[in-house]
Amino acid sequence: MAVVKRIDHVAILVDDLEKTLTFWQDGLGMQMTHLEDVPAEKSIVAFLPVGGSELELVKPTTGDSGLSRYLEKRGPGMHHICLEVDDIEGMLDRLREQGVQLINETPVTGAGGKRYAFVHPKSANGVMVELYELPR
Amino acid sequence: MAVVKRIDHVAILVDDLEKTLTFWQDGLGMQMTHLEDVPAEKSIVAFLPVGGSELELVKPTTGDSGLSRYLEKRGPGMHHICLEVDDIEGMLDRLREQGVQLINETPVTGAGGKRYAFVHPKSANGVMVELYELPR
């Protein structure tokens, strides 16, 4: 049976990346490992590891993406939580059986062979949940 | 120097606890360890461990609390992220030096001797950040 292994990351939507990094780095003492341009999401992402998880600070780079519209509507703040699962197909199958609405019916393959899918917040109490499985 | 050790929990504000538990338990296969009445927060909290962290599903039990007003205004969804730190006084001192606005200027002692303090979302890019230190 497919299981959730851990929180992989919490994604935070930001409007001012420099100011936000000042808080997390100079204030809380966390360290950014790298900054990644993600053209597919029209955003730039700063990665800050914490324990075995990560915070991802996501800044939209254009005004016409889903993320930029979300930012405009809701303001900056937590955007989604990503959970690592051991078997993403098995997990999506079970969610469908439970009547859960999915954004991605089949896993999307991202950087490094990681496969991911989003659950619709309507089915998850307003929380945007990302599921991902590492390549074996 | 005070450091952040890990994500302790992500708190999710819910309006319908039974329905929300169906998603996290029957859908994602996570297990609730216990349900706790928290009169100080006028809420009931369901704890679901995941890896070395936890999800906390928080349901306001009255209509006159800060949490219930937040729920009414923003709807259900992620509410705050709690980070474990090794030295909460040192962390609060450094945050103050950085001009960060705190909700709790000094740590509050909670159940089991855990000491915690909240950072104001205004200073954290819209994210409600809880810091906590376990008793030594």
DSSP H or E stretch at residue A92 = helix A88-97
Which chain A positions have a beta carbon within 8 Å of B94's beta carbon? 27, 29
Which chain B positions have a beta carbon within 8 Å of A60's beta carbon? none
Percent of chain B residues past pLDDT 70, beyond the cut: 100
Taking 70 as the pLDDT cut, the residues of chain A under it are: none
**Does the pLDDT of residue B110 top 90, yes or no?**
no
Is the model's pTM score more than 0.90?
Answer: yes
CB environment A79-117: b (16+ within 10 A), e (fewer): bbbbbbbeebeebbebbeeeebebebeebeeeeeebbbb
Q: Which of A4, A5, A126 sits opposite B77 (nearest CB)?
A: A126
Q: Which of B12, B50, B84 sits opposite A125 (nearest CB)?
A: B12
Q: Among residues A53, A28, A10, A30, which one has the least CA distance to residue B88? A: A28
Q: Which of B53, B77, B127 sits opposite A127 (nearest CB)?
A: B77
Q: What is the pLDDT of residue A40?
A: 84
Q: What is the pLDDT of residue A41?
A: 87
Task: Answer yes or no: do A78 and B78 touch at CB < 8 A.
Answer: yes
Q: What SS3 class is residue A63?
A: coil
**What is the predicted ipTM?**
0.94
Which chain B positions have a beta carbon within 8 Å of A51's beta carbon? 5-7, 52-53, 84
Q: What is the pLDDT of residue B40?
A: 84
Mean pLDDT of chain B: 95
Q: When comparing pLDDT for A114 and B44, which is higher?
A: B44
Class of domain A4-133: alpha beta
Task: Answer yes or no: do B4 and A28 touch at CB < 8 A.
Answer: yes
- Contact present, B71 and A125 (Cβ < 8 Å): no
Which chain A positions have a beta carbon within 8 Å of B86's beta carbon? none
Please write the tens of the pLDDT for every residue from B78-96.
999 999 999 999 999 999 9
What residues contact A50, with CB distance under 8 A and at least 6 apart? A30, B4, B5, B6, B7, B83
Which chain B positions have a beta carbon within 8 Å of A18's beta carbon? none
Per-domain residue ranges for chain B?
4-133
Give the gap in angstroms from C-alpha B84 to the nearest C-alpha of chain A.
9
Q: Which CA distances in Å does B68 have to A32, B36, B47?
A: 35, 17, 19
Q: Which of A23, A26, A50 sits opposite B7 (nearest CB)?
A: A50
Which structure tokens are listed for B32? 């609730």
Q: What SS3 class is residue A77?
A: strand
Give the gap in angstroms from C-alpha B112 to the nearest C-alpha of chain A.
22
Q: What is the pLDDT of residue B105?
A: 96
A–B interface: beta-carbon pairs under 8 A: 123
Q: What is the pLDDT of residue A22?
A: 96
Which chain B positions have a beta carbon within 8 Å of A4's beta carbon? 28-30, 50
Q: What is the pLDDT of residue A19?
A: 95
Q: Looking at chain B, which residue has its C-alpha nearest residue A126?
A: B77
